[in-house]
Amino acid sequence: MRDSILFLLSVSISCGLVACGGTSNVHNPPPPPGSNVSVAFNPTPVSGLFINASTEITAVVDNDPSNYGVDWSLTCNNKGGCGSLSGQHSQSGQAVTYTPPPAMLGNTESVNITAFASVDHTKNVVAPIALTAFGNALKGTYVFETNGLDTNGLNDQLAGVLTFDGNGGIVSGEQTISSITWAAPHRALQCCGSVAYEGIDRGAG
């Protein structure tokens, strides 16, 4: 009887040791499925724009059952001079309007407009747009004339001839100012920078 009790006790201890050292059957939950959200422009945005124009841009989000829509951002190298978007968020398929800045430091500038799927910002698409001032639209020789009142309220007239290179630069030119404030009509000695005038400024008196 004593031998039987000792045998059963040894078997129990052995089973307990095996259980303690056995392999665990705990399973980690599977990783979440990848996002099927996608975003694309429709139609394709313009690639170039004059600074006096504006354009609409539309992005469409697919697999967005809750209709979170689109978030927008606008970036460029000239911080603060990128222009503006009509909104920072829109519904899928709803256009936003991009307006260029009223002026640029040079004749060209590039901006990037990014459309993000609001539900997942890792899903995005970028529209680069090249902005152009009017410098490259002017090539050749142009004559201009204007008249009005000067700062003293007296009549004056300005006329001149300028030659543009088609890249936003002035290669030559001259201008003439005729004003009661001046002793006689004065001719500009040079353009493109500081302008010197022939004659003597006698002032308003």
For residue range 60-100, list pLDDT tens digits in order: 999 999 999 999 999 999 888 999 999 999 999 999 999 99
Tokens of 76: 């460029």
Q: Going by CATH, does the domain composed of 38-132 fall within 2.60.40.10?
A: yes
Give the contacts of 51 (CB within 8 A, at least 6 positions apart).
Answer: 100, 101, 102, 103, 104, 131, 132, 133, 134
Question: What pLDDT, on the 0 to 100 scale, is given for residue 18?
Answer: 46
Taking the chain (205 residues) in consecutive chunks of 10 residues, what is each chunk's mean pLDDT?
A: 50 48 52 75 96 96 96 93 96 97 88 97 97 79 84 82 80 81 47 39 37
128, 47 contact by CB (below 8 A): yes
DSSP codes joined into one string, the chain: -HHHHHHHHHHHHHHHHHHHHSPP---PPPPPPPP--EEEESSPPPSEEETT--EEE-EEEES-TT---EEEEEEESSTT-S-EES-SEE-TT--EEEE--S--SSSEEEEEEEEEETTEEEEEEEEEEEEE-SGGG-EEEEEEEEEEE-TTS-EEEEEEEEEEESSS-EEEEEEEEEETTSSS-EEBS--SSS--BSS------
Question: What pLDDT, on the 0 to 100 scale, is given for residue 48?
Answer: 96
Four-residue CA torsion sign, 183, 184, 189, 190: positive
Domain boundary assignment for the chain? 38-132, 138-187
Question: What pLDDT, on the 0 to 100 scale, is given for residue 1?
Answer: 55
pTM: 0.58
For residue range 33-46, list pLDDT tens digits in order: 556 999 999 999 99
